[in-house]
Each structure stands twice: as C-alpha cells, then as structure tokens.
Structure 1
C-alpha cells in the first residue's frame, strides 16, 4: 500500500461559514462546492481538504462525538521563515479566525502559532528548521 493521504475530510456545522472563512477570508480556491453539502479545496499536489456538512457526514460515516473542549486534531501549514508564520496568522486574524495564538519559539526548536476556524479546527502555522519540517516545504 502506498504511504500517502489523499483526502482529509472534516465535518462542519455551517458550510457557508466555512466557505466564507477559507475562500473569502483566507483566499483559498475551491475545486468543488456543492451548497449545503461539501466544499473541496486542493491543498497539495495530491491532497484534497474536504469540508462536509455534518448531516451528510453523519449519514455516511456515523454519529459525530460532541462535547466540551477543542476538536482533537490539528492541521499544520509549514513555512520557510518565522516572518511567513506571522503573515499567515495575521491573514487568519483578518479573516475572522478565533482564537488566534501568535507565533512563538517552541521547546522543539521551531516557531509556531495557532488559529481556529469556524468549527474549532485548529491550524498550526509553523516554521520547523529540523529535517522533518524542511521535508514538507515546497
């Protein structure tokens, strides 16, 4: 079996708010948008980030776990410099991200900050000088 991920699918409560955040706010380009159903964005050479309205997600995949706290997943966007990290965090803040945690030096040797999208998914925006971090920079 190939070692890769083709789609990351996230269930969202309000697909219109998700589209407004990612497309209008962050400036991402949709590959497919079916109102009330799904938004798909090409996020890498062979990777699609898919946002699926909760009802359709639950009908096919199963009941979504709900409760207090943040969603137990982070998505990461790695960049080549700390300045680029700060620029992306500023763009997310302008797009209405909440919360936004500014970039800071991390114990693991890099620099990162976080923002939340309309459904609470946390994005880590990072500069990682180690080999594993540099491996994912285009």
Structure 2
C-alpha cells in the first residue's frame, strides 16, 4: 500500500451548518456539492476533504458513529486504480492484523471496503470511477482512467 491519503471524510451531524462554515465562513469552493448528502473540497495535491451526512456515513460504514466504543466519525480513504486492487490492499491489511470488512459494489458506481487500524480508525480502500475519485489516484496506470 502506498504511503498516502486520498480523502479525509468527516461525518457531520448537520451537513448544511458544516457547508455554511466551510463555504460561506472560510470561503472554500466545493469540488462536489450534493445537498443533504456530501460536500467535497480539494484540499491539496491528490487530497480531498469530504463532509458527509452522518446518517449516510453510518449506513455505508455499517456502524453507529459515537464517542468511545464504536467507529470514529471519520474515515481515511486510500483510492486505487482498479476493483482488483481494492481486494489486494484489503488482503494486505488483513495480513497485517487489521479488522477487515468485505469490499462491496456501491450504489454510486464504485467498489469499496474498509479496514480498521489498531486504534479503530477506519480506512476505506476505494475504486471510484468518477472524475473526483480518479483525480486522487496516482498517474501510474492511465488505462484505468479510460
């Protein structure tokens, strides 16, 4: 697995309030803005900050976001070139001792799975065929970009 982060996702209780803070308050310009679901920002070279509705976050991750026991209310994402590479990275994480969930085809067209590091931080390993997802994948395999 490359040493990098592709997305930082924060599960937020009130997406509109968070949007107002980042867009109206800080002057950030969204890369993607889906009202009621998600707001994404380009925050660096191949790095996106995603503010995601907490209920949708909990539905995809499969656990309730809480303080203390449970999954933390954010994930770190590692985007890869192909669906097969998602499985390879998850296998690598499992071999390293991570708690790994199976990868799944997502309704938005991607293929993702999750693993937890020793502290319970959730990493999403994702193949995202959309423009914003492909933008964060290193340019080592241009055939995956169509």
TM-score by length of 1: 0.52
Write out aligned runs for 1:59-98 (5 A): 66-98=67-99
Q: Is contact 2:46-2:136 (8 Å) kept? A: no
Deviation of 1:69 after TM superposition, in Å, equals: 1.7
Q: Is contact 2:46-2:137 (8 Å) kept? A: no
1:132/1:116 CA distance change after superposition, 3 Å: same
Deviation of 1:111 after TM superposition, in Å, equals: 0.2
Long gaps (5+) in structure 1: 1-7, 9-43, 48-64
State the match for 1:12 in structure 2. Answer: none
After TM superposition, which residue ranges in structure 1, 4 or more long, deviate above 3 angstroms?
44-47
Q: Aligned-residue CA RMSD in angstroms?
A: 2.6
Q: Is contact 2:115-2:123 (8 Å) kept? A: yes
1:102 aligns with 2:102: yes
TM-score by length of 2: 0.49
Long gaps (5+) in structure 2: 1-7, 9-43, 48-65, 139-146
1:130/1:66 CA distance change after superposition, 3 Å: closer
